[in-house]
């Protein structure tokens, strides 16, 4: 493998980290939404169409993709406010299916099954780093704020959250909208990186890899999604003969980790550290 391979692997890692944070933030607030793949699709198509068809500049197109993600997620959060857990998952899965089918059937706009080709590559490692840096900053800011505390409380016990004056609905809506913005942003960036997009790349496989990176890494700390994504991106490449079997590896890893580290790598470590500190304190 030449250096270039590692470079592009790193870029893929950065993109996947962005997607993972879109998934992370809803789970953090106790929303079992898996709509992030759909936001990525919406942002990806919006950017590709704006750039290839209307000659819009890259920053404007990506900004529009982000805004579209925010808006779509905000609208989606209204009908989903009453749903919880597995019902939220199913409803958002349906939304992902809708977006993928729109990709297939709105041929005039999306190019149908052929997708959109010949998208200029206007995004490189630098841009991806800056975008992920911004998302990380946002995540750390939330983590250290009252909003992060509200998210944590809502996730663990909605009754307790209510008893402390925390609006579950408001927390969920905010998490939804942030998730939409990040999904749209990285969908847009991806379009300007990969030359061509097609509907099925925003479907079940993307959704599973986003979820898997959170389950692997952990949803309680900001570093979790990064660790999870790093494992999922690197492992199939390191075990080169297995690279063809990426889904198989995802699946096996998930089963192993869920069994032995149910909180994910980062959260399990954090928990261990807290227990040890507490043991020293008492």
Partner 1 sequence: MEWPILWRSCAVDAAPPMPSETLTLRHVTKRFGGVTAVSDVSFDIPPGRITGLIGPNGAGKSTLVNMIAGVLTLSEGDIRLGSRLLSQAPAFEVARSGIARTFQNIRLLAEASVLDNVLVGFHRLERASLASHLLGLPASWRETRDLRARARDLLNRFGMQRYAEYPAGGLSYGHQRRVEMMRALATQPRLLMLDEPVAGMNDVEAAELGDIFASLARDGMAVLLIEHNVPFVMRLCAEINVLDTGRLIASGPPGTVMRDPAVIAAYLGTG
Q: Does 222 engage in binding with partner 1 (CB under 8 A)?
A: no
Q: Does 83 engage in binding with partner 1 (CB under 8 A)?
A: no
CA 237/CA 9 separation, integer angstroms:
9
Q: How far is the CB of 17 from partner 1 (least distance, A)?
A: 19
Q: Pick between residue 250 and residue 263 the one whose CB is nearest to partner 1.
A: 263
Q: Does 92 engage in binding with partner 1 (CB under 8 A)?
A: no
Q: Does 81 engage in binding with partner 1 (CB under 8 A)?
A: yes
Q: Pick between residue 63 and residue 147 the one whose CB is nearest to partner 1.
A: 147
Q: Please name the residue ranges forming H helices in 29-124.
A: 36-54, 58-80, 85-105, 107-110
In DSSP terms, which residues pair with 116 in a beta bridge? 197
Q: Does 78 engage in binding with partner 1 (CB under 8 A)?
A: yes
Q: Does 277 engage in binding with partner 1 (CB under 8 A)?
A: yes
Angle between helices 246-260 and 223-238 (to 10 degrees): 130
CB-side exposure of 218: number of CA atoms within 13 Å?
18
Q: Does 33 engage in binding with partner 1 (CB under 8 A)?
A: no
The structure tokens 């609208």 sit at 75
Contact 53, 240 (CB under 8 A): no
Q: How far is the CB of 79 from partner 1 (least distance, A)?
A: 9
Contact 229, 20 (CB under 8 A): yes
Contact 264, 216 (CB under 8 A): yes
The 3-state DSSP class for residue 197 equals strand
Question: How many chain residues touch partner 1 (CB under 8 A)?
Answer: 42
Q: Does 170 engage in binding with partner 1 (CB under 8 A)?
A: yes
Q: Does 162 engage in binding with partner 1 (CB under 8 A)?
A: yes
Angle at CA of residue 43, ends 38 and 48, nearest 5°: 125
Q: Pick between residue 113 and residue 140 the one whose CB is nearest to partner 1.
A: 140
Q: Pick between residue 121 and residue 273 the one whose CB is nearest to partner 1.
A: 273
Interacting residues with partner 1 (CB under 8 A): 77-78, 81, 137-138, 140-142, 144-150, 152-153, 156-157, 159-170, 173-174, 177-178, 271, 274-275, 277-278, 281-282
């Amino acid at each position: 493998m030449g250096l270039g391979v590692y470079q592009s692997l790193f870029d893929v890692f950065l993109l996947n980290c962005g997607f993972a944070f879109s998934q992370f933030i809803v789970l953090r607030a106790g929303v079992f939404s898996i709509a992030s793949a759909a936001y990525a699709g919406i942002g990806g198509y919006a950017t590709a169409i704006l750039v290839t068809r209307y000659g819009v500049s890259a920053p404007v197109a990506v900004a529009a993709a982000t805004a579209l993600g925010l808006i779509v997620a905000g609208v989606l959060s209204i009908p989903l406010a009453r749903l919880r857990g597995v019902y939220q998952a199913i409803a958002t899965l349906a939304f992902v299916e809708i977006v993928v089918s729109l990709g297939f059937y709105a041929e005039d706009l999306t190019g149908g099954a052929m997708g959109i080709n010949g998208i200029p590559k206007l995004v490189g490692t630098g841009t991806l780093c800056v975008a992920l840096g911004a998302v990380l900053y946002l995540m750390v800011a939330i983590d250290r704020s009252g909003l992060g505390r509200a998210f944590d409380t809502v996730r663990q016990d909605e009754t307790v959250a209510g008893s402390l004056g925390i609006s579950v609905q408001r927390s969920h809506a905010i998490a939804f909208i942030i998730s939409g913005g990040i999904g749209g942003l990285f969908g847009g960036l991806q379009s300007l990186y990969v030359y061509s997009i097609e509907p099925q790349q925003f479907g079940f496989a993307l959704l599973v890899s986003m979820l898997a990176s959170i389950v692997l890494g952990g949803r309680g700390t900001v570093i979790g999604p990064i660790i999870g994504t790093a494992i999922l991106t690197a492992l199939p490449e390191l075990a080169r003969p297995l690279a063809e079997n990426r889904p198989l590896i995802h699946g096996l890893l998930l089963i192993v980790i869920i069994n032995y580290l149910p909180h994910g790598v980062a959260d399990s470590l954090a928990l261990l550290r807290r227990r040890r500190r507490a043991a020293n304190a008492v």
